Amino acid sequence: MSDDIDDLPEEEPDQEAMADEWAAAMAEQGVEEDEDEPEVAAPMPLDEFDEKPLAAAASQDLDVILDIPVNISMEVGSTSISIRNLLQLNQGSVIELDRLAGEPLDVLVNGTLIAHGEVVVVNEKFGIRMTDVVSPSERIKRLK
């Protein structure tokens, strides 16, 4: 068998017939065709753009996330121990942490350090008083 595909004449579509069909379809839809001038949108005056709607939109966007719950935790300290020592822990065991007594606690939101604080008692419950809050730019740096 031989490849005679190259020998077949290529059919070229009738360009004028296609243009007429498109013109008829455009006329049915009520679209006028002007070949000399392309359609350009009218410019909008700059005084119609106001920054107040943008600020309101930003406020609404912020309102969407304000009710999202986050986990906040206070870390007294940490340490590493072997599984053998972990299994030997029982009531009354003492674990030495990497912090000195009286050092401020870390306040973490979803695992990210946002502040340091000290333990207080409020209505017979533990609380924390913020002593140092990490700046927003520093928090962003720590996320990376």
What the chain holds in terms of domains, given with CATH numbers, is 70-143 (2.30.330.10)
* pLDDT of the chain, 144 residues: tens digit per residue: 555 555 555 555 577 777 787 777 777 776 555 555 555 566 656 555 555 565 666 666 777 788 889 999 999 888 999 999 999 999 999 999 998 888 899 999 888 889 999 999 999 998 999 999 988 888 777 766
Report yes or no on whether pTM surpasses 0.75.
no
Task: Provide DSSP, 46-76.
Answer: GGG--HHHHHHHHHHHHHHHTT----EEEE-
Closest CA to 115 of 87, 75, 61, 68: 75
